[in-house]
């Protein structure tokens, strides 16, 4: 490939959107061509400065409130009309609906019992994630250095959470904090993916390495897995794929086999 062709691919290369074969070809070219290498460096400089320098405009609270109010109003305007008509047409339907809802309720209650422990945990973790972002209590120890974050937990916990830096993979470690989840004090590591935060909750667990489980709650993605005697729960608003990649990185990186 010549420089023109390479430079047409350079953006996708820098964004890690190329397939492996093409990626290797670009890499090979870059080793010998200083001009294309410079173009890639310029591109990286620009990307970094946008990511760190350009403002990310968060939705004002008043907008959030007015959207909730207006969409609820619009939703209500649709609903009661339909429901009231149905009830008037056939009173017998009321009895049937009652029976059906009792059956459904019973079914849900059974489901709920099985699911409740996990749901409860998921709820707590999402709440902690949201709270950490709202109340600016994201971090107790602010550091991108794992050798600062790890010792910080000493004496505060009865276990030593594994602390890995994933900067090279696009998930820089930015700090840690303590939190209280499921009736115990847990370690929380905070990672960043561009402008988004990932809260990683860690505590000791006797369960073995099952396959990671993925959950969505309130629009947040949650992945949990067990590894090397610890339970890991990652929660974030990054895409499910990114969160799985993040989990895979940690699963393999903390692996005793290495």
Partner 1 sequence: MNENEPATQFEQAILPHLDAAYNLARWLTGNDQDARDVVQEASLRALKFFGGFRGGNSRAWLLTIVRNTFYNWLEKNRPHEVSTAGDEELYGLEDPSVDPALLLARSSNVEAVRGAIEQLPVEFREIVVLRELEDCSYKEIADVAGVPIGTVMSRLARARKQLQEILADKSETGDRP
Residues 48-107 that bind partner 1 (CB under 8 A): 48-51, 53-60, 63-64, 66-68, 70-72, 74-76, 79
Task: Report which of 127, 122, 158 is spatially closest to residue 230, judged by C-alpha positions.
Answer: 158
Minimum CB separation of residue 254 from partner 1 in Å reads: 25
Contact partners, residue 224, CB within 8 Å, separation at least 6: 212, 213, 215, 231, 232, 233, 234
Q: Which of 26, 39, 122, 149 forms a contact with partner 1 (CB under 8 A)? A: 39
Q: Containing H/E element for 63?
A: helix 61-89
Binding status of residue 243 toward partner 1 by CB under 8 A: no
Helices marked H in 90-167? 91-134, 146-153
Residues 205-224 that bind partner 1 (CB under 8 A): 217-220
Q: Which of 24, 27, 38, 103 forms a contact with partner 1 (CB under 8 A)? A: 38
Contact partners, residue 10, CB within 8 Å, separation at least 6: 26, 36, 39, 40, 43
Structure tokens at 88: 């008037």
Q: Which of 124, 165, 169, 237 forms a contact with partner 1 (CB under 8 A)? A: 237
- Kindly calculate the radius of gyration of the chain based on its CA atoms and give it in whole angstroms: 25
Minimum CB separation of residue 110 from partner 1 in Å reads: 16
Chain contacts with partner 1 (rule: CB under 8 A) = 3-4, 7-8, 10-12, 15, 17, 35, 38-39, 41-43, 45-51, 53-60, 63-64, 66-68, 70-72, 74-76, 79, 193-196, 217-220, 237-239, 241-242
């Amino acid at each position: 490939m010549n420089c023109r062709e390479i430079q047409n691919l350079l953006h996708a290369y820098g964004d890690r959107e190329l397939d492996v074969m093409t990626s290797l070809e670009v890499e090979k070219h870059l080793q010998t061509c200083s001009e294309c290498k410079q173009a890639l460096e310029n591109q990286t400089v620009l990307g970094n400065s946008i990511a760190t320098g350009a403002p990310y405009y968060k939705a004002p609270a008043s907008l959030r409130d007015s959207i909730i109010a207006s969409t609820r109003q619009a939703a209500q305007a649709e609903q009661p009309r339909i429901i009231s008509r149905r009830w008037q047409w056939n009173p017998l339907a009321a009895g049937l609906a009652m029976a059906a809802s009792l059956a459904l309720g019973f079914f849900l209650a059974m489901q709920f019992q099985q699911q409740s422990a996990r749901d409860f945990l998921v709820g707590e973790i999402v709440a902690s994630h949201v709270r950490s972002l709202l109340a600016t209590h994201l971090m107790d120890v602010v550091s991108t250095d794992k050798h600062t974050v790890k010792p910080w937990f000493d004496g505060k916990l009865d276990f030593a959470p594994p602390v890995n830096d994933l900067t090279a993979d696009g998930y820089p470690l930015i700090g840690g904090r303590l939190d209280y989840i499921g009736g115990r004090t847990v370690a929380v590591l905070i990672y960043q993916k561009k402008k988004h935060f990932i809260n990683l909750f860690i505590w000791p667990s006797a369960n073995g390495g099952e396959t990671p489980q993925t959950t969505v709650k309130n629009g947040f993605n949650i992945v949990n897995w067990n590894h090397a005697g610890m339970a890991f729960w990652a929660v974030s608003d990054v895409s499910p794929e990114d969160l799985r990649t993040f989990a895979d990185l940690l699963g393999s990186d903390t692996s005793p086999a290495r």
